[in-house]
Structure 1
């Protein structure tokens, strides 16, 4: 017989969700202070807290409808408002209304992405996301800023972050499929190959953290369009 967890246990996963919101808010505070080399890291921290809340809820058997809604609201703050605000202060502010529109579209399309996920998650394939997940889009914005802050010679090209943000926004509301590592069946992996690959990637990120994460994020970002293009071309060849 499954035991009902004590009421206080429900606070733990929601604490991590609240921590995700706080991390996003603090990223905004740092951006307002001009600390663009630090603000994006708190988007990464928000991602860690976002990953912990659901896992803690499942481990403690404290998943609830309130927790799901709270997590969704936290995502729009930490991965929608926060990166869009950092984006606007870093690059968009210099381009007037264009910067405002691009930053706003990132939030709006991110909210659409979350709403669609909430209402369709029970009907889609268990191993994929439909559209680019909003945390991934937020991480891409954060990495782009970190790369430009690390290599100051690139700072004159910060305007290119605006079209990147627009592309990310469109991908969020697209029907392009991305793998969901949360739902993938680890048992189907070859353990030795997976371990070797994981260690190699981890060592690369340890030596070059920003560059390594940029490569990983770019690979995940491109996977969806490349996969969709491959299947579209294959269908065209079969028809021909």
Structure 2
């Protein structure tokens, strides 16, 4: 009986990973059918499921090499292929070969990002990511589609999505450090600041869901760039 329970616990995180893949495939189908809003939200659902599977694996102590590889393949579908196809079908096809290149770069650099993450997991700092994580990049592209679709901006400003997708693709394979939030400092010194920020973010998202999520994604991406620029003189002095 205990063996069966152990096997079920081992399967549990992989169920969430499979659900993330399903959500990614459903997003692709929705994008092909022209349902861009649904496709975008399904990618965000994949993000939630992707976060749950890792936490379930750690809580149940069922982390495995198979789980790591399965999770990477799931990320490639949900956060690589799905957002790239969504972007291409939404606006990229209007730019001919440039649209193809931009979509392909997102998938290729996303694959490199995942491969590098798997190789560097043991040696990397637990509190930071090296380069923008592929789920963040995917959600950023999805939010741009939602925002531009809501305000009908894709007709006149579709090139902005293409350029920003290329930028975030490059950031995925960059050496810029981004916070991972795996270990949040909840000491009394920082607890109130964290509470105020989280509460403000939740209220913003409640009032303006698409705009709020987009703003948070932009702040996160710009934070890494700004931090690197600020610390660059200190790094050069040490060298």
TM class by shorter chain equals: over 0.9
Quote the Cα distance in structure 1 between the aligned partners of 2:231 and 2:168.
Answer: 21
Q: Give the aligned partner of residue 57 of structure 2.
A: 57
Q: Give the aligned partner of residue 66 of structure 1.
A: 66
Instruction: Confirm or deny: 8 A CA contact 1:57 1:63 kept in the other structure.
Output: yes
Are positions 1:213 and 2:190 aligned together? no
After TM superposition, the runs of 4+ consecutive aligned structure 1 residues lying more than 4 A away are none
Q: Give the aligned partner of residue 33 of structure 1.
A: 33
Q: After superposition, what is the alpha-carbon deviation per residue over 1:187-227, rounded to whole angstroms, capped at 9, x for unaligned?
A: 47622332222112101110101111111000000011111
Instruction: Confirm or deny: 8 A CA contact 2:13 2:57 kept in the other structure.
Output: yes
Instruction: Confirm or deny: 8 A CA contact 1:149 1:155 kept in the other structure.
Output: no
**1:6 is paired with a residue of what secondary structure?**
helix
Are positions 1:126 and 2:131 aligned together? no
Equivalent runs, 1:224-239 vs 2, <5 Å? 224-235=224-235
Q: Give the aligned partner of residue 199 of structure 1.
A: 199
The answer to which of 176-185 and 116-125 deviates more is: 176-185
Quote the Cα distance in structure 2 between the aligned partners of 1:99 and 1:45.
Answer: 26
Q: Give the aligned partner of residue 16 of structure 2.
A: 16
Quote the Cα distance in structure 1 between the aligned partners of 2:197 and 2:154.
Answer: 31
Quote the Cα distance in structure 2 between the aligned partners of 1:51 and 1:99.
Answer: 30
Report the Cα offset of residue 154 of structure 1: 5.3
Equivalent runs, 1:179-198 vs 2, <5 Å? 179-187=179-187, 190-198=190-198
Q: Give the aligned partner of residue 140 of structure 1.
A: 140
Report the Cα offset of residue 143 of structure 1: 0.6
**1:37 is paired with a residue of what secondary structure?**
helix
Quote the Cα distance in structure 1 between the aligned partners of 2:121 and 2:134.
Answer: 15
Calculate the aligned-residue CA RMSD, in Å: 1.8
Q: Which consecutive residues of structure 1, in runs of 5 or more, have no partner in the other structure? A: none
User: What TM-score, normalized by structure 1, do the two folds share?
Assistant: 0.93
Quote the Cα distance in structure 1 between the aligned partners of 2:188 and 2:57.
Answer: 25
Q: After superposition, what is the alpha-carbon deviation per residue over 1:73-124, rounded to whole angstroms, capped at 9, x for unaligned?
A: 1001100000001011111111111111110110000000000010011112
Equivalent runs, 1:65-84 vs 2, <5 Å? 65-84=65-84
Q: Which consecutive residues of structure 2, in runs of 5 or more, have no partner in the other structure? A: none
After superposition, the Cα gap between the structure-2 partners of 1:188 and 1:182, relative to the gap in structure 1 and judged at 3 Å, is: farther
User: What TM-score, normalized by structure 2, do the two folds share?
Assistant: 0.93
Report the Cα offset of residue 234 of structure 1: 4.1
How many pairs were matched up?
A: 236
Quote the Cα distance in structure 2 between the aligned partners of 1:66 and 1:55.
Answer: 16
After superposition, the Cα gap between the structure-2 partners of 1:228 and 1:93, relative to the gap in structure 1 and judged at 3 Å, is: same
Report the Cα offset of residue 155 of structure 1: 3.8
